[in-house]
Chains A and B, each alone.
Chain A
C-alpha cells in the first residue's frame, strides 16, 4: 500500500504486472461502454481509483486492462438535510469532504490517504481508520450502490433513503468485494453532522497486563470514545509520540461539554499515564497521523489480524516489538502491524505463528502488504474459510467469465 502515484507508471496493474490498455471513462455510460468492449474481446478488467492499494490482495491471474475511475468524480445528489450523499465512484474522500464541509457535515469513514483514495476504492477494499469504533465500518454507512458487471449492465441495490429493505442488500455484498463482482459506478452513503468538539488523549504503559485491564475498563467506561488505539513502542516513535513500551490513544467526538467531561472522567478510570492531551485543532495532526499510519509502508510485510476484542492484548503480547510496529483498533479487535526488519524468513515464521494464534480464537489474519513472490506461500487472505466456496458461487453468478479483477480475492476469485 501507499506507494506515491509518481512512483507508479500509468499502466501498472500491481505486483509488477503491466496492463494491456487503459480506459478512462468520464461518465457511467462511458464506463459501461468500456466494460462491454473489453468483455467482448475477453479481456480481464482491473478497476483502479487512487491506486493507494495497487498491490493489495492476490496476484492478478492474467493480463488485462485498467479501468481508471478517477474521471467519474461528480456529486450526483447531496440533499444535506437528509444526511445522505450520492457520488460517482472516482471522487476522492477529500473532494467529498470539501462538499460536505459547506454543510458542516462529514463522512463517517476515516480511511487514510483521503486526497488520493476514491470512495469506490474505499468500498472495494473495505478500508477503515481509527474512528470505526465510534462510527462503524463502511458497510454501516452505505445505503445504495451501482456497479457495472462484466456484461456492461449497471446493477443497483438499495437506494437513496436511509431505511429500505426492498431487494437483496447489494451494497453490503459489494463492500469489501475487491472489485471482483463489477466496477462500482456510484454509491449512496449516510453522512453526519461534524461534532462540535474533538479531543485526543494518549496514555502510556510499561506493562501490557495493565494495558489489558485498561482495555477491559474501556469496554464499559463511563465515557464513549470514538477510537481506541493500542500502539507499541516503535510505532509511537514513528508517530512522534514520547517513548514507552505501549500506549492507548483515545479520540472523543461530541459537543463541547461532553468532550470536556469525558477527558476528565477517563483519567480516573485508566491506570495509564497521560502523556498527550489535545483538543480540537491542536489534536488534528496526531489524529491524522494515526489515520495515515494504518497505510504505512515500512518493511516488506504488513498484516491485519481480526480477533475477539478481549484477545487484542494477548495477541499483542505474542508480537515481537523489535520486529513489528503495532497499531491496533483495539475496540474493534483489529491488530495491524508493519514489519520493521527485512529478514523475510523471520517475518514469515511470525506470520505463520501469529495466524495460527488468531485462527485458534475464531479470528483471521490477512497480509495487507506482501512481496509478490511470497503471496502464494504466505496466503495473503489467510487459510481457506468454510464460506469461501459460497463466495466463489456468488462470483460465478455475477461474473461468470471471471473478467473482474481475477486472482485478487479469496479462493479462486
Chain B
C-alpha cells in the first residue's frame, strides 16, 4: 500500500512565505481573524482525518461561515494558485481530508445551517457543515427522515457525506447518499458556482448531481445540498440472531437475500467484536457466540408478521437462534436505540482489544460473503493477526478490523500485507475495494485493479474539466500525478 508523498505537491516552494507576503491578510479580510488558523500548534488537529497513517499539516485552515465567504476563500486560492482541500468533520477513513503537500484547508463546519425543511415536497436544503444526525433530529416526529445513516452520523457532515457518497447500515433497502440528493451547489476551483438539480425530480441535462456525489472533493467544494426526505416506516422488527460460527451467520445472510426478503438492515458481528461491544455497552450479546446478526425488517405492521416468521425460520435452518426480537413503531424505543448504539459504536469498543487497529472497507457480491469471511480468517492465521469483523452483511460490505501493536514493526508490516490480500481477494471475486469510505489517498493504488487505463483516463478527463489546474484536492482518488511513497504503517481509528 502506498500513501501520498509528504513532500509538497503544488504548494512548494514556500507557502509560509506566501502567507506572510499578504495571502494570510487576504484570508483574514475575507472571513475574519476568528475564522483562520495558521499557528503551527493550532494546525496539528488538521494533519489527518480518520485515516491516521498519512499525516501532513495544512499551512492555514479557513473556516468560512457563509457561502460568500467560501467563494471569497476559493477565489483567493485560485488567484494565488495555491492548493486547497475541503474538510468536514474529519471522519473520513481513507484520507479524503488529508492536506497532501500542505497549502490551504477549508473546513466547512461553521456553515452549519439547515436552511429549509419542506415536508410536503419532501426535501431539505442544508449547508455542508450540518452534521448528519442534526437533520435526523430536526425531522424527529415529522414522519419523515433522511435515509443515509453512517455509523459516524453523530459527527460526520452532510457535505462530507456528499463528497464520499456515504452509506451506513440502512443502505441495503434505502440506498446510499446519491439516491437521496436532489441537487447541489458546487463552488468550483476558480470560485464560480454551479447549481445542479433542484427541488423537482428530473431536469433536462446530464445528471451532474449524480456525478458530483462521490467526487471526493476533486471537483470543488459543495456549498449547499438539497436532500430528499423519506417516509418513516410504520413499524419494524429487529432481531438478534445468534450463531455458533461466522460461517453459519453468513450462510443465513445469503439465505435471507435468496428468499426474496429485502431487510432494512443486515449487520454482522463476529466473536471478537461481540466481546468488545459487550464489555463496552453490556447490551446482552452472548459472548460465547461465534457471530451475531442484527436483522431488521420494516414496512407496514400488517405485512411484517409473515416476514418475521420467514426470517426466524432461515436463522433456525442455519443452526442459529433468534435471541431477541424487538417490535418497534418508532426508532426511538429504548431497546431499539440500545442495539443500534452497540452496533454503531462498535469501533469505539475495539480499543478494549488492541491499542491500534486498521479497518478495511471491501465489498463482495453477497453470495461470496462466506468465502471472503473464510479468506479473512485464513489471512489472519497466515500473518498471525487477530481480525475482528463488524459489517454491513446485507450489502456484502465487509469491514475487517486488523488488530496490532504499532510499536512492533513486524506486526505493522503483516497488517499491511494482510489488508492488501483481503482487498485483492474482494476484487478477484468481482467486488470493490471501497463500499462507503472512498478512495481518498489510501486506495489509489487499487484503482488500476478495478478499472482499465481507458476508464481511468475518462475519469481524469472529467476531473480536469472541473478542476483544470488540479489545485482542489490534489493527489486524491485518481492514481495519476503526485508522488506516492511506500506506506510504513496502517491506520488506527475508524467507524463505519
Contact between A308 and B199, CB atoms less than 8 A apart: yes
For the complex, give the distance between the alpha carbons of A139 and B203 in Å.
13
Question: How many of chain B's residues have a CB under 8 angstroms from any CB in A?
Answer: 85
Residues from chain A with a CB closer than 8 A to the CB of B175 are 136, 140
Known contacts A139-B210, A257-B306: A362-B200 contact under CB 8 Å: yes
Residues from chain A with a CB closer than 8 A to the CB of B439 are 165-167
Q: Does A82 contact B (CB under 8 A)?
A: yes
Contact between B206 and A176, CB atoms less than 8 A apart: yes
Q: In chain B, residues 440-482, which have Cβ atoms closer than 8 Å to a Cβ of chain A?
A: 443, 446-447, 450-452, 454-456, 458-459, 461-465, 477
Contact between B200 and A306, CB atoms less than 8 A apart: yes
- Distance of B202 from chain A, by nearest CB (Å): 5
Which of B210, B257, B299, B436 lies at the interface centre, i.e. has the most chain A CB atoms within 10 A of its CB?
Answer: B210
Contact between B300 and A156, CB atoms less than 8 A apart: no
For the complex, give the distance between the alpha carbons of A311 and B215 in Å.
33
From B366, B433, B434, contact of A81 by CB (8 A): B366
Contact between B365 and A161, CB atoms less than 8 A apart: yes
From B213, B451, B458, contact of A398 by CB (8 A): B458
Contact between A390 and B303, CB atoms less than 8 A apart: no
- Distance of B51 from chain A, by nearest CB (Å): 15
Contact between B206 and A385, CB atoms less than 8 A apart: no
Q: Does B254 contact A (CB under 8 A)?
A: yes
In the complex, which residue of chain A has the Cβ closest to the Cβ of B463?
A168
Assign chain A's interface to a size class: 35 or more
Contact between B435 and A163, CB atoms less than 8 A apart: yes
From A84, A169, A170, A410, contact of B178 by CB (8 A): A169
For the complex, give the distance between the alpha carbons of A334 and B203 in Å.
11
Contact between A398 and B461, CB atoms less than 8 A apart: yes
Contact between B395 and A332, CB atoms less than 8 A apart: no
Residues from chain A with a CB closer than 8 A to the CB of B223 are none
Of the candidate stretches B24-32, B164-172, B278-286, B339-347, the one touching chain A is B164-172
In the complex, which residue of chain A has the Cβ closest to the Cβ of B397?
A163
Known contacts A83-B257, A255-B306, A397-B461: A165-B204 contact under CB 8 Å: no
From A175, A181, A193, contact of B210 by CB (8 A): A175
Known contacts A163-B167, A167-B455: A381-B302 contact under CB 8 Å: no
- Distance of A394 from chain B, by nearest CB (Å): 6
- Distance of A383 from chain B, by nearest CB (Å): 10
Residues from chain B with a CB closer than 8 A to the CB of A192 are 262
Q: Does B143 contact A (CB under 8 A)?
A: yes
Q: In chain A, residues 120-142, which have Cβ atoms closer than 8 Å to a Cβ of chain B?
A: 126, 136-137, 139-140
Q: In chain B, residues 132-178, which have Cβ atoms closer than 8 Å to a Cβ of chain A?
A: 143, 164-165, 167, 171-172, 175-176, 178
Q: Does B205 contact A (CB under 8 A)?
A: yes
For the complex, give the distance between the alpha carbons of A291 and B397 in Å.
35
Known contacts A220-B143, A306-B200: A394-B465 contact under CB 8 Å: yes
7 smallest beta-carbon distances between A and B, as pairs: A172-B210, A258-B303, A193-B260, A261-B302, A163-B435, A306-B200, A164-B432
> CB within 8 Å of A: which residues of B?
119-122, 143, 164-165, 167, 171-172, 175-176, 178-179, 194-196, 198-211, 213-215, 231, 234, 254, 257-258, 260-262, 299-300, 302-303, 305-307, 363-367, 392, 395-397, 430-439, 443, 446-447, 450-452, 454-456, 458-459, 461-465, 477
21 examples of A-B residue contacts, CB within 8 angstroms: A154-B452, A154-B454, A161-B431, A166-B451, A173-B208, A175-B210, A193-B261, A194-B260, A223-B300, A309-B120, A332-B201, A333-B201, A334-B202, A362-B198, A364-B203, A387-B196, A391-B205, A394-B206, A395-B206, A397-B462, A398-B461
